[in-house]
């Protein structure tokens, strides 16, 4: 494995989303020093003469020497002035840092004819790729690890937050307001209050207006390829695919999150469950929905109604009977599904027995997998046709 030092222009570093992992590098120098998969690129920048900042570490997975191919992967605006590209392993990437290397810059050594940085280095004479000696690579790794340990926790944007940001993007008629816009400031304030990130108070920049404005730019890059930020993550794309073509669903879900996060159920600080992660409307909507489905009095009355009608508790979709299959262990067990999506349920509306159905665990998960939710008859059709 080889390690390389690569210069980035300050405006490139400062122009990117601080919450975004850095997983690729583009430069006219990449490839000229034989960068290969498995190598590491250490990206540095300089804000003033003899000032050296370490900003990114990229574990290279693939090197591309074709601008059209890079554009297809990274987006139209991604390549800037680059001719060659190193793509990293995204799952191993981290947020960019700002580690001052000025005190140790003179200790860095390189392989080849140029073995050290120039006596007076600046942005002009840093602009080339240099292969680091193993000792210098170890110095940078220690600096990187120290920086990781000293920085506040990284807070990845969650579905609830992205839904609110996408809603604002559409309410702004797909334009990009700056960080001073009242709506951006208001969303920043709301995001700071959501009970999603327990340690959010440890980071003074958490969901600040700058970050909100940049997240809107991510959605514009999906909406208008070639504009806005050039790289978005899978969760952003998933939220876009789920809500962008259903304005009513988006507006209702965003309103539910904005109003429902203060409820006692939503405020519970518990680790997210698998079902919660899969719930398209986000964590807060999921918790409100499950709380409603687990209403003890509602479930008791629904079970009583089922027993009166058929003498047993069976899934209304596939007819699975837990007691018949598991004996005493399965007695009185069945799940309750609320057929009205939580985003469409008015707070003051009273749940009626006809709004819920009794289902087994498998059918319940299948109902929740599609939007809009499949009805009992539709799930039955799937079962009989398979």
The helix (run of H) or strand (run of E) holding residue 338 is strand 335-338
Angstrom distances, CA of residue 106 to CA of 100, 103, 119, 177, 200: 13, 7, 8, 43, 37
- Which comes out higher in pLDDT, residue 251 or 384? 251
The rounded distance, in Å, linking the Cα atoms of 378 and 339 is 13
pLDDT class for 218, splitting at 50, 70, 90?
confident
- Residue-range domain boundaries for the chain: 3-150, 159-284, 294-385
pLDDT class for 21, splitting at 50, 70, 90?
low
Phi, psi of 223 (to 5 degrees): -70, -40
- Which comes out higher in pLDDT, residue 24 or 230? 24
325 is written with which tokens? 């299959």
Partners of 86 in the β-ladder: 25, 63
Strand duo 53-64 + 99-100: pairing: antiparallel
Average pLDDT over residues 62-87: 77
> Is the confidence at residue 229, as pLDDT, over 50?
no
The rounded distance, in Å, linking the Cα atoms of 264 and 262 is 6
What's residue 319's pLDDT? Answer: 92
Q: Which residue carries 């876009």 as its tokens?
A: 240
Tell me if residue 16 falls in helix, strand or coil: coil
The rounded distance, in Å, linking the Cα atoms of 8 and 26 is 9
> Is the confidence at residue 270, as pLDDT, over 50?
no
- Which comes out higher in pLDDT, residue 247 or 80? 247
> Is the confidence at residue 17, as pLDDT, over 70?
no
142-156 pLDDT, tens per residue? Answer: 999 888 777 767 788
155-187 pLDDT, tens per residue? Answer: 888 899 999 999 999 999 999 898 999 999 999
Give the DSSP letter string of 26-60.
EESSTTTT---TT-EEEEEE-SSTT--EEEEEEEE
The rounded distance, in Å, linking the Cα atoms of 30 and 2 is 13
């Amino acid at each position: 494995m080889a390690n390389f030092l690569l210069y980035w222009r300050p405006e490139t570093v400062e122009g990117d989303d601080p919450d975004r992992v850095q997983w690729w590098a583009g430069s006219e120098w990449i490839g000229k020093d034989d960068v290969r998969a498995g190598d590491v690129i250490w990206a540095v920048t300089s804000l003033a003469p003899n000032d050296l900042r370490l900003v990114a570490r990229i574990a290279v997975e693939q090197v591309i020497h074709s601008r059209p191919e890079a554009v297809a992967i990274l987006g139209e605006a991604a390549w800037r002035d680059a001719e060659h590209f190193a793509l990293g392993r995204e799952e191993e990437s981290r947020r960019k840092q700002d580690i001052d290397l000025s005190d140790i810059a003179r200790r860095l050594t390189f392989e080849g004819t140029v073995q050290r940085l120039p006596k007076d280095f600046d942005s002009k004479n840093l602009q080339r790729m240099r292969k680091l000696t193993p000792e210098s690579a170890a110095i940078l790794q220690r600096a990187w690890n120290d920086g990781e340990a000293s920085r506040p926790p990284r807070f990845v944007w969650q579905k609830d937050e992205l839904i609110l940001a996408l809603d604002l993007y559409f309410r702004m008629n797909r334009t990009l307001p700056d960080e001073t816009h009242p709506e951006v400031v208001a969303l920043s304030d709301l995001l700071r209050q959501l009970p999603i990130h327990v340690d959010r108070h440890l980071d003074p920049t958490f969901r600040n207006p700058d970050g909100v404005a940049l997240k809107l730019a991510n959605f514009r890059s999906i909406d208008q390829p070639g504009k806005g930020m050039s790289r978005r993550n899978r969760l952003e794309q998933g939220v876009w695919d789920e809500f962008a073509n259903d304005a009513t669903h988006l507006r209702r879900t965003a309103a539910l999150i904005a109003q429902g996060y203060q409820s006692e159920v939503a405020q519970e600080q518990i680790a997210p469950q698998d079902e919660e992660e899969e719930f398209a409307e986000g964590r807060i909507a999921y918790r409100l929905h499950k709380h409603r489905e687990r209403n003890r009095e509602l479930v008791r009355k629904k079970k009583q109604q089922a027993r009166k009608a058929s003498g047993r508790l069976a899934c209304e979709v596939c007819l699975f009977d837990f007691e018949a299959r598991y004996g005493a262990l399965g007695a009185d067990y069945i799940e309750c599904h609320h057929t009205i999506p939580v985003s469409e349920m008015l707070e003051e509306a009273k749940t009626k027995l006809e709004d819920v159905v009794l289902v087994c665990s498998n059918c319940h998960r299948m109902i929740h997998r599609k939007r809009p939710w499949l009805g009992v008859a539709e799930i039955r059709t799937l079962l009989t046709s398979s």
